[in-house]
Amino acid sequence: MTDLYRLLPEEMEEMVIELGEPRFRADQILYSLYYKFPKNISEIKQLPKEFREKLLENGFNIGSTKEVHRVQSKDGDTTKLLLSLNDETPIESVLMQYKPKKFFGHPRSTICVSTQVGCAMGCVFCATGQMGFERNMKAEEILGQVIHFAKILSEKGQHVTNIVFMGMGEPLANYAETFRAIQLLTHPRGFGIGQRHITISTIGIVSAIEKLAEEKMQIGLAISLHAPNDKLRQMLVPTAGPDSVEALIASGKKYFLKTGRRVTFEYALIEGINDTPEIAEELAWLLKDNGSHINLIPLNPTAGEFTRPARKNVIEFERILYNGGINCTVRVEKGTEISAACGQLRTDILEKYNNTIS
């Protein structure tokens, strides 16, 4: 079976013509997929019944994600979904909403999508990293998470404003499917979101970063650094190479030169591990005159042995970087209480959900 959400608009046109239909049928399908969010082909009412039947006979379907469980933060700004894919594989996705700066208008609605079931990178402080790796997700499965939230938002008169590839898995380790998903999301006849409203977060696959830079797209890039030297980084990221810090700094510069987009280095602050003033000084020296941005992320609670630093230590770390001429911010926390924040996604919610209905 081929999911209609997998096809780029040009491929959709080729498909309808091969089936003996006029070209405009492709636009009818695309409009329905991205504005009406049908659950199956029979719901695409713009199409004649005979053509809908022809699509089914030729192996096409709509592989909508199935919502298994939903949990929302107390302030209502963060929603985490447990979704079931076509093969019943469970994954988690998150909606983060930020109130408009004025008293009116739509909130900024950011969807955090997953690209893999589990993760092979093995970061010792990340819940997903401790799951192990099960499989890559297909482009239509990645897109399906956005579509699911888009439908929820449309029912409230709202819409998706931003998409971050920061959910379960390493996006650039699933490069082909991640990039196809981005093409579908940004195509003006597809989901139609602006390229600058998408950010990919990577633990640092240098060859893939360089490949992405050559795609001539205006996608934001966030590189998870977490340490200013290789010894410490290899302790936190076991899959990191012996010269990963230098390689990542260089790849970030190349990405900026190719795209003009400033690179963000993400840095998870872990108490007693990488949050000392000495390490802050080392990081400031490493990134001096680099032109990049540092996003400090106080570690979110997971089942691991690591803990987040005291607030005063976070402020001191930020101060040292700022005094060293480094552009930096402390990430605004969203969804920590419902395990929807950075590093917390892990489908153990499925077990809790099953226990409540058994």
Q: Are strands 78-84 and 66-72 parallel, antiparallel or unpaired?
A: antiparallel
pLDDT digits (tens, 9 = 90+) for 109-168: 999 999 999 999 988 888 887 888 999 999 999 999 999 999 999 999 999 999 999 999
The reported pLDDT for the residue numbered 340 is 44
The chain-wide mean pLDDT, for the chain, equals 91
Cα distance between residue 261 and residue 240, in whole Å: 25
Q: Is the dihedral of CA 174, 180, 184, 187 positive or negative?
A: positive
Enumerate the CATH 3.20.20.70 domain ranges in the chain, comma separated: 66-357
Cα distance between residue 145 and residue 166, in whole Å: 13
User: Is 80 exceeded by the pLDDT of residue 288?
Assistant: yes
Residue with tokens 């930096």: 328
Query: CATH number of 2-61: 2.60.40.1180, 1.20.1050.10, 1.10.150.530, 1.20.210.10?
Result: 1.10.150.530
Q: Which helix (H) or strand (E) holds 25?
A: helix 24-31
What integer is the mean pLDDT of 202-218? 95
Confidence band of 356 (pLDDT split at 50, 70, 90): very low
Nearest in space to 3 (alpha carbons), one of 60, 47, 58? 60
User: Is 80 exceeded by the pLDDT of residue 343?
Assistant: no
Residue with tokens 């979110």: 300
Nearest in space to 29 (alpha carbons), one of 45, 53, 50, 14? 45
Cα distance between residue 289 and residue 163, in whole Å: 29
Q: Which structure tokens are listed for 257?
A: 């030169």
Q: What is the DSSP string of 44-96?
A: -TTS-HHHHHHHHHTTEE----EEEEEEE-TTS-EEEEEEE-TT--EEEEEEE
pTM value is 0.92
Enumerate the CATH 1.10.150.530 domain ranges in the chain, comma separated: 2-61
Cα distance between residue 192 and residue 70, in whole Å: 26
**Positions marked catalytic:** 92, 342
User: Is 90 exceeded by the pLDDT of residue 180?
Assistant: yes
The reported pLDDT for the residue numbered 101 is 74
Confidence band of 233 (pLDDT split at 50, 70, 90): very high
Give percent of the chain above pLDDT 90. 77
The reported pLDDT for the residue numbered 300 is 78
The reported pLDDT for the residue numbered 355 is 53
The reported pLDDT for the residue numbered 305 is 80
Q: 66-357 belongs to which homologous superfamily?
A: Aldolase class I (3.20.20.70)
User: Is 60 exceeded by the pLDDT of residue 316?
Assistant: yes
Least confident span in 5-14, 19-28, 71-80, 294-303: 294-303
What integer is the mean pLDDT of 310-332? 94
